[in-house]
């Protein structure tokens, strides 16, 4: 299993940034005939988090998700870090090459050492 952080070019400042989960989603219910006090906190999944970043980066995040899914998956590590996870190093290298081919330097991978 190999992992890497995804870095994007910020649409506003044009410097490298990456999405992280600062706080879980806080979900609840509203009843038509009664008050419901039940709430649930849950973190976004990897794709959910990245898809909500639409417009904040210089690339189409939906296209990034599509490319990542060819090689592995997006995952939240420690309910904070958005990472790409692949079966092996070959898939991660192929993903990096494909992202560079499509987006140039607008999207980059930062490999995480094993055990991270």
Mean pLDDT of 23-30: 86
- Per-residue pLDDT reduced to its tens digit, 28-59: 888 999 998 888 888 889 999 999 999 999 99
So what's the pLDDT on residue 23?
A: 87
Count of domains forming the chain: 1
**Sequence-separated contacts (24+) of 11-18 with Cβ below 8 Å:** 11/55, 11/56, 11/57, 11/58, 12/56, 14/58, 16/108, 17/56, 17/57, 18/82
Q: Which of 5, 41, 37 has its CA nearest to residue 20?
A: 5
What is the span of the domain harbouring residue 54?
A: 2-112
Residue 26 confidence (pLDDT) above 90: no
């Amino acid at each position: 299993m190999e992992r890497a952080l995804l870095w994007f070019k910020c649409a506003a400042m044009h410097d490298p940034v990456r999405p992280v989960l600062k706080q879980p989603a806080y979900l609840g219910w509203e009843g038509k005939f009664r008050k419901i006090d039940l709430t649930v906190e849950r973190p976004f999944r990897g794709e959910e988090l990245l898809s909500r970043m639409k417009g904040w980066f210089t690339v189409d995040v939906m296209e990034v998700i599509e490319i990542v899914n060819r090689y592995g998956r997006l995952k939240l590590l420690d309910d904070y870090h958005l990472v790409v996870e692949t079966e092996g190093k070959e898939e991660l290298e192929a993903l990096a090459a494909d992202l560079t081919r499509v987006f140039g330097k607008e999207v980059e991978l930062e490999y995480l050492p094993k055990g991270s």
